[in-house]
Structure 1
Amino acid sequence: MYKIYVLLIALFITSEGFSQTNHERDSLTIRSIYDMALLNGKSYDWLDYLSNEIGGRLSGTLNAEKAVKYTQAELEKLGLDKVWLQPVMVPKWTRGFPEYAYIETGPGKTFITDVCALGGSVATPDLGIKAGVIEVQGVEDLAKYGKEQIEGKIVFFNRPMQADLINTFQAYGGCVDQRYAGAMEAAKYGAVGIIVRSMNLRQDDLPHTGTMSYGDTPVNQRIPACAISTNGADLLSNTLKLLPTLQFYFKQNCKVYPDVQSYNVIGEITGTTYPDKYMVVGGHLDSWDLGDGSHDDGAGCVQSMEVLRLFKEINYKPKHSIRVVLFMNEENGLRGGKKYAEEARQKKEKHVFALESDSGGFSPRGFSFDIDDANFAQVKSWESLFKPYLIHYFEKGGSGADIGPLKESGMVLAGLRPDSQRYFDYHHAANDTFDAVNKRELELGGATMASLVYLFDTYGMANGIPSVKK
């Protein structure tokens, strides 16, 4: 009995020593990742070119194709084991000549206001649309007013983002349905157009675009849809209270074309131990056209590229095959994410982990995980490794739109979570430009992503590990 007791103590000491050694090694590796990113980073230069030399990268446009060629060439310079383009058919929608709108309170009495067409909207008639306005607080309000009050009018969806929610993505989710489905639902009541309050927590004059859907509405029954700035929305709402009979005019010149071919851009470092098990890190290469898409999602793309570059620079040879995937068409179709998952299943590729950055280039705070309990327990055990870098947020939740289609049982999906308080000031608006991105914050995000990928690559997935009974 004594010998067994001594043996157990020896095994415990050995295990503790091994664990301590692993922690020190991991700490040093993560330190080297952050040092390389902050002292010799590449992500900011890549973003500078994407934003200032190419610009907005709406799916199906020349700029999107320029971005494909540029990022492919930059990945090839890194000396990865493989770099290739994955063809994907994407929608093509153009904004056309800038939109114009005004509020008319009487003959000759007008106030110009800032609007922009929602992505995928049809154009107005050549002379524009002028009609009365009915204000509602959401799609669910339409039934309350009915066809009798809505027919022939422009529906004004004016539900704001809920400012008392600390999680700004939760606030966004609480009102984005009026942008996405507003036109489809308002058309059923005979509306001639819709105006949607911009998804923005700040008061400004910048309308924010975003995707919308007509569902199965026949083409000849589709109505034009635009977003109005938060200042414009408040002006319209207050004026309506004083003068319910006012008229609103807007003209937009957008057009929908047949689908065109584009590409996902993919680079890979082949794993030394598990070459047939894949870990993905990525963002979406397309953006809206009003700004240059620096936060949404140029930042996520260059941070993902930086993960593989950092591994090459510190001479880290991953056990699993690690891919960077720059997805095309997240904004108005998710075609790139769906195509990648479809081909992965066709080829019977085993994906075990995926991480997406699509929340802006602000200071990283941590990650949210679509994950099982065993893997989440493993993540929580790594918290002390991230503490020196002020990374503290490790929660179960969503991951990313592009990696969502990859989800399979036991797979770990993660999303980088930067500080989100300013994100919706820029999201889908004309001020989403390079000057709004802080170099250091961008680089910290890339290093944080690389650190998480390193840990999952080193320790693998915790699937099947029994929970410890207390």
Structure 2
Amino acid sequence: MKKTLFLAALLGFTLSSKAQDSLMLRKFYDEALVNGQAYDNLRFLCKNIGQRLSGSAGAEKAVIWSKKLMDSYGFDKVYLQEVMVPHWVRGAKEQAYIIDGNKRIAVPIAALGMSVATPKEGITANIVEVKSLKELETLGEAAIKGKIVFFNGAFDQRFIETGHGYGAAGIQRFAGPSAAAKYGAVGAIVRSITPALDDYPHTGGTVYMDGVPKIPAAAISTLAANKLSTMLKLRKLPLIKFYFKQNCQTLPDVKSYNVIGEIKGSENPNKYITVGGHLDSWDLAEGAHDDGTGVTQSVEVLRILKVTGYKPKNSIRAVFFMNEENGHKGGIKYAEQAAANKEDHIAAIETDEGGFTPRGFSFEGVSPTFLKELNKQWKGLLEPYEADMLVAGGSGTDIGPLKETLPSIQLIGFRPDSQRYFDIHHTPNDVFENVNKRELHLGAAAITSLVYLIDQHGLRF
């Protein structure tokens, strides 16, 4: 009899807890959809500050604005975390031509981040097309020395989650230029990493290997890449040459900052749940989806918790990381300081996949048992808001270093719909006008809901 009464009481408590959770999530969504401020904050960041590449004047303005914004919300603690960051500048606009005999056909390119410049007169050379690093290796020095390597591996359209396609094609941009230089190439042109066919070149970082000459490298738009590939097939190779000129340079490192806001926990002030995105952006546009939406959603989480009167058990932080795009120094610094301060981090959530319709969250390094129980407990609560995809998967570049210094932390990635993100990623088209207000605010509410559930119930599944 006692056992029966105990089980009945336990069931009643569980039902009561679920009902309370449901009411709180509805409260968060109501606040986000009716009074949400993320969209207006994003407008200011994009239109009044604009591009924010690490080390730039725009990045400095963004840091000042971000701290003032957090101060205005009355969080318990707002501060700057100093970090030294790379300072790469693009310089004058790039030029490029396909040279077919006496004809010069202009094509759009964009220097890859951290690339070196061409000589002042530019580079003109025969071009060798490859579809992968393996093909490059097969050709070897005899075919590549003195030429420009054209990496034309296309974005694999078969992936449903477009981030997987980006990851598969991205190796050409990250490692291709240095790999080509090993075989004596004088330059590298990389097909933009996107499923879209258009004339927007997609920039992004490249990484030079130690002990290998640094050669200039640029992204070429997908339409131009197709044109170049077709011409190479139709003409004899020596007839087709490529010319490009870019004026980028790397200056000495610059002092910058992560911007951090915090609501102190009522029961466990020394335990933390972090939510963040990166404040820096590439210099071609306003960095709206990458990652203005992420930082404005992150601060919106704390604002929603505060204005709805929720008192978290654990301390909740919003972090605007600096230098995700070309160095990851902000994420590394945050992890180092967390370890140095012996902070106990329960979880970290990164939002860096755009401000599109929320679908759910991916949990890094979890077991099938964890996922099964997680979905059993929380899927039903998130399902009415269509943000209930709780899966195993990656988290984010900025929070990744936390796993090295705080191995017990759970890393989580916010997963919005991915179908449009890589159409505009790292392009001049990543502007405020391409962000939908309702989608952005739905995402902020979804992240707030997950933070609340972790705060209330922990992650011991």
State the TM bucket, normalised to the shorter chain: over 0.9
1:64-79 pair list within 5 angstroms = 64-79=59-74
The equivalent residue for 1:346 is 340
Deviations 1:45-73 (A, max 9, x none): 11001101100110000000111010100
Deviations 1:277-318 (A, max 9, x none): 111000000010111100000000000000000001101010
The equivalent residue for 2:225 is 233
The equivalent residue for 1:181 is 175
Post-superposition shift, 1:204? 0.1
The equivalent residue for 1:393 is 389
Contact persistence 1:59–1:329 (CA under 8 A): yes
Post-superposition shift, 1:136? 0.3
Match of 1:277 among 271, 285, 306: 271
The equivalent residue for 1:360 is 354
Q: Distance in 1 between matches of 2:54 and 2:409?
A: 29
Return 5+ residue gaps in structure 2 as ranges.
none
Q: What amino acid is the match of 1:443?
A: H
Post-superposition shift, 1:410? 3.1
Contact persistence 1:184–1:217 (CA under 8 A): no
Post-superposition shift, 1:140? 1.4
The equivalent residue for 1:254 is 248
Report the 3-state secondary structure (helix = DSSP H, G, I; strand = E; otherwise coil) of the residue aligned with 1:286: coil
Report the 3-state secondary structure (helix = DSSP H, G, I; strand = E; otherwise coil) of the residue aligned with 1:174: helix
The equivalent residue for 1:9 is 4
Contact persistence 1:355–1:415 (CA under 8 A): yes
Task: Say if 2:436 is the partner of 1:438.
Answer: yes
Match of 1:384 among 365, 376, 380: 380
Q: What amino acid is the match of 2:37?
A: K
Q: What amino acid is the match of 1:384?
A: G
The equivalent residue for 1:105 is 100
1:90-101 pair list within 5 angstroms = 90-101=85-96
Alpha-carbon RMSD across the aligned residues, in angstroms, is 1.0
Report the 3-state secondary structure (helix = DSSP H, G, I; strand = E; otherwise coil) of the residue aligned with 1:352: strand
Q: Distance in 1 between matches of 2:365 and 2:15?
A: 26
1:8-407 pair list within 5 angstroms = 8-107=3-102, 109-217=103-211, 221-243=213-235, 244-245=237-238, 246-373=240-367, 375-380=370-375, 381-407=377-403
Q: Distance in 1 between matches of 2:309 and 2:372?
A: 29
Deviations 1:232-283 (A, max 9, x none): 0000000000122201000000011111100000011010000011110000
Report the 3-state secondary structure (helix = DSSP H, G, I; strand = E; otherwise coil) of the residue aligned with 1:202: coil
Q: Distance in 2 between matches of 1:133 and 1:169?
A: 29
Report the 3-state secondary structure (helix = DSSP H, G, I; strand = E; otherwise coil) of the residue aligned with 2:29: helix
Q: Distance in 1 between matches of 2:25 and 2:285?
A: 34
The equivalent residue for 2:452 is 454
Deviations 1:173-205 (A, max 9, x none): 111011011111111111000000000101000
Report the 3-state secondary structure (helix = DSSP H, G, I; strand = E; otherwise coil) of the residue aligned with 1:185: helix
Post-superposition shift, 1:371? 4.7
Post-superposition shift, 1:138? 1.3
Deviations 1:115-137 (A, max 9, x none): 00000000000000010000001
Post-superposition shift, 1:24? 0.7
Post-superposition shift, 1:164? 1.1
Post-superposition shift, 1:392? 2.8
Q: Distance in 1 between matches of 2:366 and 2:201?
A: 40
Q: What amino acid is the match of 1:202?
A: A
Percentage of matched positions with identical amino acids: 52
Q: Distance in 1 between matches of 2:382 and 2:457?
A: 16
Q: What amino acid is the match of 1:106?
A: G
Post-superposition shift, 1:461? 2.9
Report the 3-state secondary structure (helix = DSSP H, G, I; strand = E; otherwise coil) of the residue aligned with 1:10: helix
Deviations 1:90-113 (A, max 9, x none): 000000000010101012x11100
Q: What amino acid is the match of 2:150?
A: F
Q: Distance in 1 between matches of 2:84 and 2:256?
A: 6
Structure 1 residue runs of 4+, over 4 Å off? none
Post-superposition shift, 1:217? 3.5
Q: What amino acid is the match of 2:387?
A: I
Contact persistence 1:269–1:322 (CA under 8 A): yes
Contact persistence 1:262–1:328 (CA under 8 A): yes
Post-superposition shift, 1:144? 1.1
Report the 3-state secondary structure (helix = DSSP H, G, I; strand = E; otherwise coil) of the residue aligned with 1:34: helix
Q: What amino acid is the match of 1:82?
A: K
Q: What amino acid is the match of 2:363?
A: F
Report the 3-state secondary structure (helix = DSSP H, G, I; strand = E; otherwise coil) of the residue aligned with 1:382: helix
Post-superposition shift, 1:167? 1.3
Q: What amino acid is the match of 2:173?
A: R
Contact persistence 1:371–1:410 (CA under 8 A): no
Report the 3-state secondary structure (helix = DSSP H, G, I; strand = E; otherwise coil) of the residue aligned with 2:401: helix
Q: Distance in 1 between matches of 2:296 and 2:88?
A: 25
Please, what TM-score do these two structures have when normalized by structure 1? 0.95
Change (3 A) 1:175 1:371: closer
Contact persistence 1:287–1:297 (CA under 8 A): yes
Contact persistence 1:99–1:251 (CA under 8 A): yes
Contact persistence 1:117–1:254 (CA under 8 A): yes
Q: What amino acid is the match of 1:367?
A: F
Q: Distance in 2 between matches of 1:291 and 1:114?
A: 15
Report the 3-state secondary structure (helix = DSSP H, G, I; strand = E; otherwise coil) of the residue aligned with 2:82: strand
Q: What amino acid is the match of 2:325?
A: E
Report the 3-state secondary structure (helix = DSSP H, G, I; strand = E; otherwise coil) of the residue aligned with 2:62: helix
Change (3 A) 1:227 1:17: same
Q: What amino acid is the match of 1:368?
A: S
Return 5+ residue gaps in structure 1 as ranges.
1-5, 466-470
The equivalent residue for 2:423 is 425
Q: Distance in 1 between matches of 2:11 and 2:221?
A: 58
Q: Distance in 2 between matches of 1:366 and 1:331?
A: 24
Q: Number of aligned residue pairs: give it.
A: 455
